[in-house]
Structure 1
Amino acid sequence: MTNIFIVVILLVVFFFIIQKYVIKQDDTRDYAYCSKGSLLKGQEGAFYNALRAAVGEHAVVFAKVNMATLIAPKESQNKKQFFIASNRIARSYFDYVVCDPRTLAPRVVIELDNGQQLHKGKIERQKLLMHVCKSANLPLIGASVKHSYQVGRLRRLLAAHIDLIEPEKEVRFCKKCGSPMMIKTASHGEFKGRRFFTCSRQPNCTYTENYNVVFDDEE
């Protein structure tokens, strides 16, 4: 019994010393830091500038936005799952977020494909992005670095979510019957407020086309 008591006393003294002289010193130690330079480098910066040119005064572009700044897991009785879900988004970020210029509410999230080969980390990130954006009802657009030099295509990609392009400036023809197409805006449902092309011969022709479709033969 005496031996057990002595061991307990020694353990208490040991943890006291660790707490006072090791952990405390580590918490109060002053570290030196250095700047890493530009927030966006190379292709990231070029794409950001192209995005700003594409949206003009119609939106504000933010880069490398922590996911937890914009979204949060829904309340759950399972505290463990809630903590895990919170931790996942806290460690990741959105490449670019295009926001309303007045309210700064997010309009669309953009993920930049840098052209590198897929690896496990990249695949897991893409899965997380698609899941959180779909769950939070945030539009997600994948863009290539080549769009850094094609502002017109960026405008087309964003036009379904932000009022950037005047409808009368673009003419399309139905790929089913060849008739001129009209631009309409969804008035209800999941895509309420988004624009799309529909054949002018409806209801005889029911062909529709997403407004943000980008054709490879366009400049």
Structure 2
Amino acid sequence: MPANANKSGCLGILLAPFLGRKAVDASAQEELPYARRDDFLSHAEISFFHVFRNTLSSDHHLLTKVNLADLFFVRQPHINLSARGKISQKHVDFVICDTSTMNPLVAIELDDASHHKPDRQARDTFVDQVFVTAGLPLIRIPAARAYNPEQIRLQLAPHLSMDPQAESSPPSPLGTTDSTPINEEAYAEGNQADAETTPACERCGSPMVERMAKRGPNSGQTFWGCTAYPKCRHTLTR
């Protein structure tokens, strides 16, 4: 190989971050075996999406194909080592969120004939248990060619008038709630206290850490913050 060609190849690799990916020889790139799916939503899911989207108010937003690992986190992950793997490969068909906070309010599964199979029933039982444990409602609706908007609205109405986390999580002593983002710059680094005196988070069971508010009306006050933050924003007063 000519020396100039070798230098050119090395120079292209070195300058690639500055000149863009085109600077790298295309022949050296691995061809990835991916293609876009044409069946992102089934016919039943498409029908439901268009029917139900028009029944929602501006206060609610409809999401499709949501992974369970995006909805839930694992309590005490150092103990429950395999728990995340059990949900990371599973999803629900639809999730309705509060538009202002995008907090999930209720999930929807469309059950077609495949849900009658034993392995799928075992999967559905596990998913149902996850939702019950985490306190997020899951509604199962039989898959169909067409849907009655009023009937669906009646099924979901009880879950759209409240945030499911509001009942289980007490108000934060620092004036924030689980649905309100915390300004991380307003807090000092947490100091882990003695294990015997460190409380466990009442919401998720994770250890808590001592923190101090740096700004606002509670500046200088110490409190317990969950170590699972930002997945869990539960706090306790000292």
Q: TM-score range by the shorter chain?
A: 0.5 to 0.7
Give the counterpart of 1:150 among 125, 141, 148. 148
Q: Is the 8 A contact 1:58 1:163 kept in 2?
A: no
More divergent stretch after superposition (66-75 vs 140-149): 140-149
- Which residue number corresponds to residue 75 of structure 1? 76
State the percentage of identical aligned residues.
26
How far off its partner does 1:83 sit? 2.6
- Which residue number corresponds to residue 31 of structure 1? 32
| Correspondence list, 1:10-49, <5 A | 29-49=30-50
The structure-2 alpha-carbon separation of the partners of 1:121 and 1:54, relative to structure 1 and needing over 3 Å to count, comes to: farther
How far off its partner does 1:72 sit? 1.0
How far off its partner does 1:161 sit? 1.0
| Correspondence list, 1:176-215, <5 A | none
Give the counterpart of 1:106 among 95, 104, 107. 104
Partner of 2:56, secondary structure, is helix
Consecutive aligned runs of 4 or more in structure 1 exceeding 6 Å deviation = none
Q: Distance in 1 between matches of 2:167 and 2:161?
A: 19
The structure-2 alpha-carbon separation of the partners of 1:147 and 1:42, relative to structure 1 and needing over 3 Å to count, comes to: closer
Q: Does residue 122 of structure 2 align to residue 124 of structure 1?
A: yes
Figure out how many residues of one structure are paired with residues of the other and give that number.
137
Q: Distance in 2 between matches of 1:76 and 1:146?
A: 39
Q: Distance in 2 between matches of 1:146 and 1:94?
A: 17
How far off its partner does 1:68 sit? 0.4
More divergent stretch after superposition (152-161 vs 30-39): 30-39
Q: Which has the higher contact order (CA 8 A, sep 6+)?
A: 1
- Which residue number corresponds to residue 95 of structure 1? 93
Unaligned runs of 5+ residues in structure 1 are 1-27, 165-187, 191-219
How far off its partner does 1:77 sit? 4.5
Residue deviations 1:28-74 (CA, integer Å, cap 9, x gap): 73224221125213111111112212223231111110100110110
Q: Distance in 1 between matches of 2:55 and 2:113?
A: 22
Partner of 1:55, secondary structure, is coil
How far off its partner does 1:99 sit? 0.5
Partner of 2:102, secondary structure, is coil
- Which residue number corresponds to residue 193 of structure 1? none
How far off its partner does 1:158 sit? 0.9
More divergent stretch after superposition (155-164 vs 45-54): 155-164
Normalising by structure 2, we get a TM-score of: 0.52
Q: Distance in 2 between matches of 1:120 and 1:129?
A: 14
The structure with the largest helix share of the pair is: 1
Q: Distance in 2 between matches of 1:189 and 1:136?
A: 12
Q: Is the 8 A contact 2:131 2:138 kept in 1?
A: yes
